[in-house]
Amino acid sequence: AQKVTQAQTEISVVEKEDVTLDCVYETRDTTYYLFWYKQPPSGELVFLIRRNSFDEQNEISGRYSWNFQKSTSSFNFTITASQVVDSAVYFCALSEASGANNLFFGTGTRLTVIP
Amino acid sequence: GAGVSQSPSNKVTEKGKDVELRCDPISGHTALYWYRQRLGQGLEFLIYFQGNSAPDKSGLPSDRFSAERTGESVSTLTIQRTQQEDSAVYLCASSLTSGANTGELFFGEGSRLTVL
């Protein structure tokens, strides 16, 4: 069965610190997609990244970077030099090729960046 | 606005009443999703619409839940005989392409339902 685990419920960091949000997934499919979404206090989820299971290259976008490791079934998200505006709940999600209509979300990690 | 619009933003109802939640997707988006988010939880998939195809209702938790969408326009999620465990934020999302794994879902701000 598919499953997404975000073990960190809440994290607090001081502004400018780096922070890594962990995501571990389970799937029997060989083709699948992984996502990160940000949910700020307004409630509207914002798409951050989508990766497919055949592309293990790490990705960097500004202060954001993602580390995809199939060997450990992890797709971790790092924010460098965190800012107060990064405070939000971050969700990792999985979609399988065999069940393309659904995104399976983790329970989220609430990040608080303290000024 | 250009985003996904949901109404009402907040709804308080009494147990046993029916409620209807509305979602206005981004114009041109063929795919529409409903998710439920209970307090402190992740999102639970409820239903998926793609154009005029039969919807994927596999996530609906009971027969008290139903949803409709006409073509590629507005969708309504109806909960009959509401129960306290239905209290949650109901999120709608739309996508330009079909299938949740093909690209970005654009989410609305949600409808917060409280059943007393």
pLDDT in tens, B11-39: 999 999 999 999 999 998 888 999 999 98
Please check whether residue B107 touches A, CB under 8 A. Answer: yes
In chain A, which stretches have pLDDT less than 70?
1-2, 99-100
Residues in A closer than 8 angstroms to B102, CB to CB, are 100
Q: Which of A112, A106, A85 is nearest to A37 (CA)?
A: A106
pLDDT in tens, B38-76: 987 888 999 999 888 889 898 999 999 999 998 778 999
Please check whether residue A14 touches B, CB under 8 A. Answer: no
Q: Which stretches of B51-87 are assigned E, i.e. beta strand?
A: 65-69, 75-79
pLDDT at B54: 87
pLDDT at B104 over 90: no
Q: Which of B113, B86, B39 is nearest to A9 (CA)?
A: B39
pLDDT in tens, B83-103: 999 999 999 999 887 666 666
Q: Dig out the tokens for A48 from the structure.
A: 């951050």
Is-contact B92 B46, C-beta < 8 A? no
> Is B110 within 8 Å of A44 when comparing Cβ atoms?
yes
pLDDT at A20: 98
Cβ neighbour number for residue A73 with a 10 Å cutoff? 16
How far, in Å, CA of B113 to CA of B90, rounded?
A: 7
pLDDT at B99: 64
pLDDT at B41: 81
Compute φ and ψ for A15, nearest 5 degrees. -45, 140
Is-contact B3 B68, C-beta < 8 A? no
pLDDT at A113: 97
Q: Which residue of A has its CA nearest to B57?
A: A101
Residues in A closer than 8 angstroms to B23, CB to CB, are none
